[in-house]
A and B are shown apart, each in its own frame.
Chain A
Amino acid sequence: MLNIQDILETNRMIQENNLDVRTITLGISLRDCCHSDPAVFCDNIYRKITSTAADLVRVGNDIEDEYGVPIINKRISVTPIAIVAESCKTDSYVEVAHALDRAAKKVGVNFIGGFSALVPKGYTRGDRILINSIPQALAETERVCASVNLASTSAGINMDCVKELGQVIKMTAELTKDRDALGCAKLVIFANAVEDNPFMAGAFHGVGESETAINVGVSGPGVVKRALEEARGADLGTVAEIIKKTAFKITRVGQLVAREASKRLNVPFGIIDLSLAPTPAVGDSVAHILEEMGLESCGAPGTTAALAMLNDAVKKGGLMASSFVGGLSGAFIPVSEDAGMIAAVEKGALSLEKLEAMTCVCSVGLDMIAVPGDISAATISGIIADEAAIGMINNKTTAVRIIPVPGKSLGDYVEFGGLLGHSPLLKVNTFKCDDFISRGGRIPAPLRSLTN
Chain B
Amino acid sequence: MKVVITVVGRDKVGIIAKVSAVLADKGVNILNINQNILDGYFNMVMIAELDGSKVPLREIQKALAEKGGEMGLEIKAQHEDIFMLMHKV
Contact = CB atoms under 8 A, between A and B. Distances in A.
A68 B82 contact: yes
B43 A2 contact: no
Interface residues of A, number: 20
Centre residue among B45, B82, B86, B89 by max chain A CB count within 10 A: B86
B34 A4 contact: yes
B54 interface: no
Contacts of A7: 4, 6, 45, 83
Contacts of A2: 4, 45, 47, 80, 83-84, 87
Contacts of A10: 82-83, 86-87
Nearest to A255: B85
A252 B84 CA distance: 10
Contacts of A256: 81-82, 85
A237 to B, nearest CB: 21
Given A11-B6, A67-B78, A256-B81, A6 B86 contact: yes
A272 to B, nearest CB: 12
A65 interface: yes
A178 interface: no
Contacts of B79: 66-68
A99 interface: no
A8 interface: yes
B47 A253 contact: no
Contacts of B57: 65-66
A58 B86 CA distance: 24
A248 B89 CA distance: 9
A256 B4 CA distance: 16
A11 B85 contact: no
A66 B86 CA distance: 16
Interface string B45-89: 101000000000110010000000000000011111111111101
Contact of A11 (B34, B76, B87): B76
A69 B47 CA distance: 18
A282 interface: no
Contacts of B47: 2
Nearest to B36: A4
Nearest to A69: B82
A6 B83 contact: yes
Interface in A372-401: none
A102 interface: no
A31 interface: no
A316 interface: no
A320 interface: yes
B24 to A, nearest CB: 22
Centre residue among A65, A68, A256 by max chain B CB count within 10 A: A68
Centre residue among A7, A11, A68 by max chain B CB count within 10 A: A7
A8 B82 contact: no
Interface in B2-22: 4, 6
A338 B43 CA distance: 33
B82 A67 contact: yes
Centre residue among A65, A66, A248 by max chain B CB count within 10 A: A66
Contacts of B58: 65
A253 B43 CA distance: 23
A252 B6 contact: no
A252 B81 CA distance: 10
Interface of B: 4, 6, 34, 36, 43, 45, 47, 57-58, 61, 76-87, 89
28 contacts: A2-B4, A2-B80, A2-B83, A2-B87, A4-B34, A7-B4, A7-B83, A8-B43, A8-B45, A9-B87, A10-B82, A10-B83, A10-B87, A11-B6, A11-B76, A65-B58, A66-B78, A66-B79, A67-B79, A68-B77, A69-B82, A249-B87, A252-B85, A252-B86, A255-B85, A256-B81, A256-B82, A256-B85
Given A8-B45, A9-B87, A249-B87, 9 more contacts: A2-B45, A2-B47, A4-B45, A6-B86, A7-B4, A65-B57, A66-B79, A67-B79, A249-B86
